[in-house]
Structure 1
Amino acid sequence: MAMTEAEKKRLQRQRAEDERRALSDATYPYLKETFSEFLKYEGNYVNVEIALALAGIEAPLIEDERDPHTCALEEVIVDVEDPFPGAKGAIGRAEVMIDCFMDAAIELACVVNSYKRQEIEARLAELESSPETDKAEAMKEAVKLNKLLDRLKKQVRRNFPVWKVTGV
């Protein structure tokens, strides 16, 4: 079956994105001080530690210039040709961490969203099938539950400063 124009364009965009991600960061040649040295006196990394600690996660220490692949779990990157294209040293590790944290947050948000929608839909089904419920009260509750479902269908957008520059 032939692809639609939208599917072709989506595939083209995906290829371009994959090519862009495979490039090294254009800022690397201009970075003289190592990132691990910079972190020794950068006070804001404590905010990363606090944010992760609130979630029960210990923040990774970036005390040396090891590449990202040296810190990844072997079973996750086995048989992957280049799991971290273009990422080098501590700054590459930090860039990979950002991408991974965002991916994990997106996936966790999907799981939580799915759970909540499933539970709310179950409460709606209970309201419909319950003969003992006051109809007026049931209608109010159904309206509220449907509003919750409508809100859960929306997307959230968060702004981030640019942390990786490729394709310049």
Structure 2
Amino acid sequence: MLTRVLTTSLLLLVVATKTSSAQTIPPEGLVMKLEPLGTKLAKTFVTPEMLLEYKKQLAQRIIQAHPQYSGQEQKIELWLEKEFKLDEYFFYLGQQLGQKFNKEEIDTIVKFLSTPVGKKLLKESNFMSRESARIAAALVQKKLPSLLNENSKK
């Protein structure tokens, strides 16, 4: 009698365990990912204008790495529209930003970027980045003759 009770209890435990885990396992092909800490910051910081600029830069890098695509910018841009997944981009960017900022810092930055001045900063960030690179290149270009003169003396 005791053996029968134990066997029945064990059978019920196995069935209950299989039933409960079947309910918690996501359907095949569906992977549950926790949103990284920095995703909120990534989605606030990266504007549609930035994304458009990134895609243009990516297209140019593809052409530089694979010259056979030269003159096919439109084809590459259409391909990027299809293959460059924003949810995946924000997931990985969020992971990286979450390693640099804690939750309180992220909340403070997002709060600032949501103000009129913060929105203007975001809007002008591409300009600021381009101008920073342009000015640095111009200054180096201006000084380049001195490097060339040093090399010719050797």
Q: TM-score, normalised by structure 2?
A: 0.26
The structure showing larger relative contact order (alpha-carbon pairs under 8 Å, at least 6 residues apart) is 2
TM-score if structure 1 supplies the norm length? 0.24
- Greater gyration radius: 2
